[in-house]
Amino acid sequence: MKLLSHVLQRLLKLDPPLTRDIAVHHDLRVPMPDGVELLADRWAPRTGGDGLPTVLLRSPYGRSGPLFGAAMALPWAERGFQAVVQSTRGTFGSGGVFDPMRQEREDGLATLEWVGKQPWFGGSIVLAGASYLGYVQWAVADSLPPTVKAMVAQVTESALTLEFLRADGLSLETPFGWGVQVDGQERRFALLRQLTQGRKRSRALFALPLGGADVAATGHRVDYIQDVLAHDAESPRWAGLDHRDRVARVSVPVHSIGGWYDIFLPGQLRDFQALQEAGRPARLTVGPWTHVGMSSTVMRENIAFGLAHARGQQPPERAPVRLYVMGQEAWRDFDSWPPEGHAPRRYHLQPGGDLADQPPGESPPDRYRYDPADPTPAVGGVRMVRGAGRADNTTLESRPDVRTYTTAVLDQDVEVVGEVSAEIWFRSSLPYADVFVRLCDVDPRGRSYNVCDGLVSLTGADEISLAKVTLWPTAYRFKRGHRIRVQVSSGAFPRYARNPGTGEPHATATTLRPADQEVHHDLQHPSAVILPVRH
């Protein structure tokens, strides 16, 4: 345990612990109202642990090992908390069946009641954790007992996977990868298989029909993946998974921590705005991270925030919103999200591949051909794979199925902070098509790096229509001497599923039809990206 503590401290660069003498009380049985028992481990100082504040982490990923056990619990237990790590229903020895996200409200409330009755309980609880561990916090947020003093929700949101399941742009790679991961995580050598079978999983995403991709990757059907492919976000299958209506009714301070390249960022910012509008005490921190790439700063601030509230104190003072402004490479404080002082400015697509803030003149559309058999690839961006986040887009932009529009060299900095969108006048040779838009920063050497992006699916695309694309929010400073670029294409595979062009459901489509696409930019069709620019 002491060796592990030293390793974690060096990796996370945490403040020195109060103690490294930590005991783990394994396999505590937590009864649920339906008679099922969930297992939990309690990490606490070997002496003096009883009565300390409790941090509760409810996880489907297990309670032991260096990643999902020690890395979650040990930093808290060494710095003033006793940490309770519980395996959610149907995972790692807990009873019942794991049906992702469906039992977390009932089980979470029962667990809070159980913690409050334990002889070692000290009277205060902090809810903490990232991703799924943050979602389970929102599932109970409107019914917290008085013993809960704060929530720390990292890279997560109250509706979690529903954003992936939009009918107008199915996110494929992330829910598929997660479904494969949790399906096999309790088998022998699970981590080794995750590391060595990535290529097999990637090939599976090309399966036709896509409903057979889970079998191609795992050898059997995976219920969660089948649900994702068969049911969009409006389906009754997902009833009860959306906890957005609970956010504004939370009764404790919340610290939300997100990343500009995180898969859950739009929902996390929506949740924070709901807290703001309801007048709830809340903090927001967003850094230049992907879903799995947060810095040690986060853990230090998490513990300080949680410990202060658990003791009835105020955490170290800071602004409500702290954002890492990429490009400037600096942390900045704001009063709200989106911050004041940034107004929408339209940058219009122009003939000849230009981008400018004046409307375009008369010009023919730009054309490209999209072939779902050779789909436009996802490069960097909002993903959970190696190479996610900020990446060199040079090779991507050389493809004939990607159009680019670029400003002149900037004579002054342009700061963009807030919500980003695009309006693209578009026509396809087929009624069904996707429009993918990406904002990039081109440096003085001509290298193009992605800032944020988004995709929308169109029906009736064989007539000229306006594609309204919501890109990921961002905070970015385009420096003087750089250029702003917009990419337009018809896919980012496998982040998004391929559009087969036939209108068939993703799960059963077997035919892939190439399409000839047009991007219009003239007085009647002023395609543009809309950026929140500091004024």
- Which DSSP symbol is given to 96? S
Distance from chain centroid for Cα 458: 24
Count of beta carbons in the 10 Å neighbourhood of residue 33? 10
Name the residue among 321, 315, 288 with its Cα closest to residue 302: 315
Can you give the pLDDT at residue 192? 62
Calculate what percentage of the chain has a pLDDT beyond 70. Answer: 95
**CATH 2.60.120.260: which residues of the chain?**
342-534
Is the pLDDT score of 468 beyond 60? yes
Residue 1 has pLDDT above 70, yes or no: no
Peptide bond into 175 cis (omega under 30): no
What is the per-residue pLDDT for 7? 45
**Per-residue pLDDT reduced to its tens digit, 240-296:** 999 999 999 999 999 999 999 999 999 999 999 999 999 999 999 999 999 987 777
Angstrom distance (rounded) from CA 430 to CA 16:
61
**pLDDT higher than 80, residue 190:** no
Locate CATH 3.40.50.1820 in the chain: 1-123
Paired tokens of 6 = 């030293």
Who has greater pLDDT, 474 or 9? 474
pLDDT recorded at residue 321: 98
Q: Is the pLDDT of residue 6 over 60?
A: no
Q: What is residue 12's DSSP assignment?
A: H
Give the least confident one: 62-66, 332-336, 438-442, 513-517.
62-66
Superfamily covering domain 342-534 = Galactose-binding domain-like (2.60.120.260)
- Return the CATH architecture of domain 1-123: 3-Layer(aba) Sandwich (3.40)
The CA distance from 453 to 437, in Å, is: 6
| Among the listed residues 360, 359, 391, 363, the one whose alpha carbon sits nearest the alpha carbon of residue 377 | 391
Q: What is the rounded average pLDDT of the residues 369-385?
A: 97
Residue (of 529, 441, 446, 439) closest to 478 by Cα position: 441
Report how far residue 80's alpha carbon sits from residue 19's, in angstroms, rounded to the nearest whole number.
Answer: 9
pLDDT-derived band at 4 (thresholds 50, 70, 90) equals very low
> Residue 139 phi/psi, 5° resolution?
-65, -25
pLDDT exceeds cutoff 90 at 459: yes
pLDDT confidence of 17, banded at 50, 70, 90? confident
Question: Average pLDDT of 32-48?
Answer: 97
pLDDT digit string, tens, across residues 133-164: 999 999 999 999 999 999 999 999 999 988 88
For residue 39, what are its two tokens?
Answer: 């297992």
In this prediction, residue 69 carries a pLDDT of 73
Q: What is the CA radius of gyration of the chain?
A: 24
